[in-house]
Amino acid sequence: MSTLLHTQDYSYYAVLIACLLPYLFVGVAKFGTGHRYNNHDPRAFLEQVEGKHKRAHNAQLNSFEALPLFIAGVLIAHRSIGVEPDYLTLNVLSWCFIALRLAYGWAYITDRASLRSIIWFFGLGVSASLYFL
């Protein structure tokens, strides 16, 4: 299995998951609010939610904001990798980003503001580190 991790690139799967994460958070934002969901004007509906639903909506928005730096970092890392073992580093960093984004969403939704900020900072660092592989 370790040979497989060295020779296979799983970072593109991490990009796909990162692109889908905002939809997980918006699901939390939209459902269980106690209000009838308005599919005719979902953005207005989301602007009116409160508490954990509002924070889940904010986690969704921040997740979309974090995508460009991460996606570009993965693509740039792919262009600069010349030796196969570097894929291990790329895979680990990519999946660390996913774990951090999940933790970020959880911290945001459960209103752990300081922890959320720390997690956000580490996620930013992971994305930025992809540019230096």
Residue 1, pLDDT > 50, answer: no
End-to-end CA distance of the chain, in Å?
A: 23
| Domains of the chain: total | 1
Residue 6, pLDDT > 50, answer: no
Contacts 24+ apart (CB under 8 A), 54-57: 54/29, 55/108, 55/109, 55/111, 56/25, 56/26, 56/28, 56/29, 56/105, 56/108, 56/109, 57/25, 57/26, 57/29
| pLDDT one-digit tens code per residue, 112-124 | 999 999 999 999 9
| pLDDT one-digit tens code per residue, 70-104 | 999 999 888 886 645 478 889 999 999 999 999 99
Residue 24, pLDDT > 50, answer: yes
**Structural domain containing residue 6:** 2-132
Rounded CA separation 75/24 (Å): 24
CATH code for the domain in which residue 101 is found: 1.20.120.550
